[in-house]
Amino acid sequence: MNFYNSLASGNGFLVRSLEGMIYFISSIARLPDPTSSLPFQLRGYTKTFSLYYGLLSSCPRLECVDLVFDSINHMNKLLKALAPSESTLRSVKFANTGLIADYKITTELVHRALKHRTLRNVEQLTLTSVRNGGAQASNDDPRTKLKLVSCTLEVYGTIFRVIKPFLPQDSSSLRKVSLTFYKLVPQDATWLFTYLPTTLEELEISLQMSAVSELTVEGYLNKAHGATDPFPHELLSRFSSLHTLALMGFTLPVQLLITLTSASSKIRRLNFYDSKWVPFESSRPTRFLSRITGILDPSLAINLLSPFSRLIDVHLGTLPTFRIDRYATLRVEMKARGIEFDCDPCIDDEVCEICGERH
């Protein structure tokens, strides 16, 4: 209440960001309602929503804000509260916290909100834990009219075509893209890497439930032999300004690292967490007790990473061995170059899942 009074009395003119607002509102929502009405109470709305509306309307020069709502009515009301910030608002985050039972924002509600005049100057769009729901678009093409610089889309339990419409119709201003979803087929990956501008600086794609890090060595080899859908790594050569790349949960060809060295000299961070590697087409991997040779051997890894002169951080994903000390020379090389290095081993398939001992 004191916080609201402070903003309402004029201090709201000084506020530029209400990031994290949804977590504040969720905390308020769990408190018992006061027995008497509050000064900011809106007729027909809960005290929590009334406070949310009051805080937004008390800050007329916002640049960053978090939004959550569960109906068109609530959406229009909150955007009305934000109207005074139309000229200054640059970043908006739509998110579900799981803590407010009545607030479950869906993809369809977000699509409606992005058409509102109040958000027309937004440059940074974030969707976090938004649910797929409501009527679907008649096509899957990008339909966001905003000139976005940064786009972070995290819609759980869905495929790429559901989040594709949230991408801007004009991609030329994009510099950072972060996507999280369930599956990306090569055809969609080809479209995405062709759609993104050559001036892109940060690209992060995370596939859910890949569980690559839980592979045994035998399972790793089977996936390498069974990889039939080629990852369009050659298209990454378009991005000459790229300095951060994260491809998490993928099956990647080792040629990808060669493509990146010829693409951008600015690369500083590589993250292949929960991804695995398949060999060159001419290679024939060999299975030994604790490792596979012929996919991404230590010497090959050192050679492929050596051209990255600006690299400061790399996670090489899951490597084809359960004896990670096999890559000790690689770790030493990375440390000598001042590079933060990490990787994951396969599961030891000789270890009993019941007792944890080797038999």
CA distance 4 to 27: 15
Task: Return the ∠ at Cα 57 (arms to 51 and 63), rounded to 5°.
Answer: 115
Q: Please report which confidence band the pLDDT of residue 5 belongs to, taking 50, 70 and 90 as the band edges.
A: low
Q: What is the pLDDT of residue 110?
A: 92
| pLDDT of amino acid 222 | 82
Least trusted range by pLDDT, from 58-72, 101-115, 256-270: 101-115
Structural domains of the chain in order of their starting residue, each with its CATH number: 211-359 (3.80.10)
Q: What does the alpha-carbon distance between residue 357 and residue 135 come to, in Å, rounded to a whole number? A: 52
More reliable by pLDDT, 224 or 228? 224
Pick the residue with more confidence: 112 or 40? 112
Give the Cα separation of 139 and 15 in Å (integer).
Answer: 40
Determine the Cα–Cα distance for residues 78 and 95; give it in Å rounded to an integer.
14
pLDDT score at 296: 94
Per-residue b or e along 282-295, where b marks 16 or more CB atoms closer than 10 Å to that residue's CB: ebebeeeebbbbbb
The CA radius of gyration of the chain, in Å to the nearest whole number, is: 24
pTM for the model stands at 0.89
Please list, in sequence order, all residues whose beta carbon lies within 8 angstroms of the beta carbon of residue 182, skipping any fewer than 6 positions away. 156, 157, 158, 159, 207, 208, 209
Which two three-digit tokens encode residue 237? 């050569």
pLDDT tens digits, one per residue of 295-332: 999 999 999 999 999 999 999 999 999 999 999 999 99
How far is Cα 87 from Cα 172, in angstroms, rounded to an integer? Answer: 22
